[in-house]
A and B are shown apart, each in its own frame.
Chain A
Amino acid sequence: MAFWARQISIWCSSVKTSNVANSIQQLRRTHRTWMQLHELSVLSLLCTDNQFFQRGLKTYQSVSLGSRLQSTNSSNGQIVSSENNLLSPVNHYQQQAEVIPSSDTETLYEVWEDTPPSSALEEISEEEAVQIVAEPPLPLGSFTLRDYVDRSETLSKLVLLGVDLSKVEKRPHAGQLLLRLDFEKDVRKRLLFLKDVGVEDHQLGPFLTQNPYILAVDMEALETRVAYLKSKKFGKEAVAQMVSRAPFLLSFSVERLDNRLGFFQKELGLSVQKTRDLVVRLPRLLTGSLEPIKENWQMCQVELGFRRNEIQQIVTKIPKILTANKRKLTETFDYLHNVMGIPHHILTNFPQVFNSKLLRVKERHMFLTFLGRAQYDPAQPSYISLDKLVSMPDEVFCTEVAKASVKDFEKFLKTL
């Protein structure tokens, strides 16, 4: 706004010599043109397509614009550059305001002559008056969606739905995408579709926070993907669970999904039903990278020394082991196997220990050793199962497994 005021004052001084009525008229005209230009630039933000903006500004280039604006043409669609570019016209205006002598402004007006002139003293109808927006204009470019949320119907509805815009705007291209959407036309259809698939109301917000791109995916493609999943004998509940737990699932093409399902069946050597169960329990496997999964599988076999059928058992019980951090997994295994002396077949029966933190296992094992209760062999008396060791909260663990008070446990922890 400050820039506008400055601009107008400069023109004011430039036309001081001409008669007053004329100058008012011209001022009003320039004001209108500015408004239009401004809307143009906002529009160009919304559709990233700089050519539109370019057309609006073409008249300018003959006057003073530098080469920078022209370079925007080449980098259409790239987020960072386009945002920079969107900001750049402001600089040009400012340069222009400083440079242009009064004779140049005359040519400027001539160029803008195609907008119909209207007088400041001209009466306007009520209807027209109502439609004049008296709010501050939207910024030309912005790094957040905050500036637009109050004025965009789509954005405000998405917020009320529970979409975390502060997270969405950090994803590449997501901000532009949401701004370009029309709620009634684009968003509503897909929301209803997601609801049909089985995503619950309270899950919609987090779902769209994670995958806002689904709002731009073709409806037909979405339907074929769901149909594909159903053709692979996933039940309705299963599909609903998979889609809501792995929001990116429906952004994958049918071929890709098919490849990935094939991978699990072939590489892991699981039966059809087991693959299905695995994928339903952890649909993240389908949307994530396959490389770490391969590596984890190899590591279990080569480094940890599990047999193939043992790993299959573990994976069906805790699929998370396939996406776990390799270093943490080896550390936990090293402690369990080499320090606590637990053989592979017991670990296969209680794979839950791999889900818990190493520090927790360590602390509890040491406490039990201190009490003389660390006995993990099921064949001998006073046996403590690994499941009990890790899954209980501290209080229950102390009273039921260690048979000691929580205070004693805490005191013991401070001697470690």
Chain B
Amino acid sequence: MAARRAARTGLNGLFAVYKPPGVASIRVRDTVETLLLKELNSLEQPAVQQQVRFLPTTVEGNAGKELTLTVTQLPVLAAHPLVRGPEFTHLKIGAGHRLDTKSSGVFVLGVGHGSKLLTDMYNAHLTRAYTVRGLFGKATDDFSDTGRLIEKTTFDHVTRDKLERILAVIQGTNHKALLMYSNIDLKTQEAYELAVEGLIRPMEKTPPLITAIRCLQFAPPEFQLEIQCLHETQQYLRKIVHEIGLELKSTSVCTQVRRIRDGFFTLDNALLRTHWNLQNIRNSIQDSKSKVKVGLQRSLSCQARSGKRHTDMDQVAESKLHSTEGMSASDLTHKMR
């Protein structure tokens, strides 16, 4: 019993897995749960309890056969694992920010009490980093390479310079929006301190915001971007690739979306499909424990400060919010024209 309880207590916290492309994230969660349950249930079973029973038996007494009760110790079969069934039938596993089926990369899961940490992580509004591959010359209805083809274009005129100019514009407009949404007066000491720590970011739900974007590789028709962003979906990133293609007077589709960082979980922490077992997951939880704690504390202190700020500058913030109302994600990218 002790071994199992220890096993269970070892499973409280956050860990990251590497989601392969083509598998739904809910399937990944279910697979991890199934594997963990299988291993937990195959752990050494506790010895079956004994109970004392009085059984009637015939004994050869001095007056012939006599019926008496004898004390016997019998195992309690009702507690036998074959009667009771498996000890663990489900585990509480929560998923962090989702990845859609086509995309791959770091996918955070929380076990046991870790599910609460997932909420904290959501409230911390941490940035995530992606690498995105694009392909010039095509446009499809869902912006990915598997969608229905809409048009074909030439891309001879596209150069790296032109691409980087567009990227700079995207980063510029998004940076402006980021400052606006983070409700901060840039001319204050407080803003300076936050900026030094790199913590300027909105603390409530906003449209997707790109905090950094750069070109990793440019070899027409292929190109690869690295995007760091907030509150995004994978489909939004595909749309960005599509719009970059349009801006370059061409078209492009997205061939791969791969998350390389989710908050404080990087690619190195992510467990591959073949490594999903009890031991590895427990080690991974242990390793990430301190990192999660520090990271969440840092963002919470920032949040507390921003909360104070919020009350101070209620009016300012409100007027600013009004001016940004009705501005959607696509507006942000279209503004750069």
Contact = CB atoms under 8 A, between A and B. Distances in A.
B91 interface: no
B273 A359 contact: yes
Closest 5 CB pairs of A and B: A166-B85, A149-B77, A165-B83, A146-B78, A164-B82
B10 to A, nearest CB: 24
B18 A413 contact: yes
A410 B280 CA distance: 15
B47 interface: no
Contact of B56 (A130, A166, A410): A130
A147 B83 CA distance: 10
A217 to B, nearest CB: 23
B269 to A, nearest CB: 11
Interface string A355-376: 0000100110000000000000
A36 B39 CA distance: 48
Contacts of A202: none
Contacts of B216: none
A131 B267 CA distance: 71
B80 interface: yes
Interface stretch (A63-71, A155-163, A223-231, A257-265): A155-163
A414 interface: yes
B67 A127 contact: yes
A166 B18 contact: no
Contacts of A155: 77
Given A150-B78, A156-B77, A414-B18, 11 more contacts: A130-B69, A131-B67, A134-B54, A147-B78, A150-B51, A150-B74, A150-B76, A166-B83, A414-B270, A415-B258, A416-B20
A218 interface: no
15 contacts: A130-B56, A145-B83, A150-B51, A150-B74, A155-B77, A159-B77, A164-B82, A165-B82, A165-B83, A166-B85, A413-B20, A415-B258, A416-B20, A416-B104, A416-B258
A394 interface: yes
Contacts of A363: 20
B168 interface: no
B91 to A, nearest CB: 19
B323 interface: no
Contacts of A414: 18, 267, 270, 272
Contacts of B54: 134
A416 B133 CA distance: 11
B20 A359 contact: yes
B42 to A, nearest CB: 14
A183 to B, nearest CB: 14
B78 A130 contact: no
Contacts of A359: 20, 22-23, 273
Contact of B272 (A156, A163, A166, A410): A410
Interface residues of B, number: 28
A370 to B, nearest CB: 14
Interface string B81-102: 0111110000000000000000
Contacts of A166: 82-86
A366 B86 CA distance: 39
Interface in A398-416: 410, 413-416
A156 B18 CA distance: 46
Contacts of B85: 164, 166-167
Given A159-B77, A416-B104, A146 B84 contact: yes
Contact of A159 (B18, B20, B23, B83): B83
B68 to A, nearest CB: 7
Contacts of A416: 20-21, 104, 258
Contacts of B76: 150
Contact of B82 (A130, A134, A150, A159): A159
Nearest to B66: A126
Contacts of A149: 77-78, 80, 83
Contacts of A147: 78
A131 B68 CA distance: 9
Residue of B22, B78, B84, B273 most packed against chain A (CB within 10 A): B78
Interface in A91-134: 126-127, 130-131, 134
B311 interface: no
Contacts of B20: 359, 363, 413, 416
Contact of A130 (B51, B67, B80, B270): B67
A146 B83 contact: yes
A414 B259 CA distance: 10
A149 B86 CA distance: 17
Contacts of B78: 146-147, 149-150
B290 interface: no
Contacts of B104: 416
Contacts of A159: 77, 80, 82-83
A410 B84 CA distance: 41
B280 to A, nearest CB: 13
A231 B18 CA distance: 56
A167 B83 CA distance: 8
B319 interface: no
A140 to B, nearest CB: 17
A359 B23 CA distance: 9
B136 to A, nearest CB: 21
B96 to A, nearest CB: 18
Nearest to B275: A410
Interface string B270-287: 101110000000000000
